[in-house]
Amino acid sequence: MKYIKLSIELPKDILTLIRKSEEEMPAEIKKIFALELYRKKSLSFGKAAKLAGLSYADFLKLLGENKISIFDFTKEELKEELKKIKQI
């Protein structure tokens, strides 16, 4: 896989506010970016986990901490699935 290097400028007080060091920020930004791309359905679960630098289990935990569901059901689909479960 090929990589690109990006550079961004952030106000220094942001680090204090979010309690992260300058060294921690690249990994933190990758996690945030991966979460957002997954939430927007731009990346699959596996690719987002890889981008975040996390195992599947750790990425799943991160999704939960950020209240991002792995389930993608419409209300109608969910009702149908629940009906199927009740029949079992």
Based on the structure, what is the number of domains in the chain? Answer: 1
Contacts of residue 60, Cβ cutoff 8 Å, sequence gap at least 6: 70
Give the span between the Cα atoms of 58 and 2, in whole angstroms.
24
Give the span between the Cα atoms of 53 and 68, in whole angstroms.
18
Model confidence, pTM? 0.78
Residue 11 domain-assigned?
no
Residue 59 domain-assigned?
yes
pLDDT tens figures, 10-67 = 998 999 999 999 999 999 999 999 999 999 999 999 999 999 999 999 999 999 999 9
Ordered alpha helix ranges (H), the chain: 12-18, 25-39, 45-52, 56-65, 75-87
Domain that holds residue 67: 22-87
Residue 67 domain-assigned?
yes
Q: Report the greatest alpha carbon distance in the chain.
A: 57
Residue 33 domain-assigned?
yes
Residue 7 domain-assigned?
no
Residue 14 domain-assigned?
no
Residue 78 domain-assigned?
yes
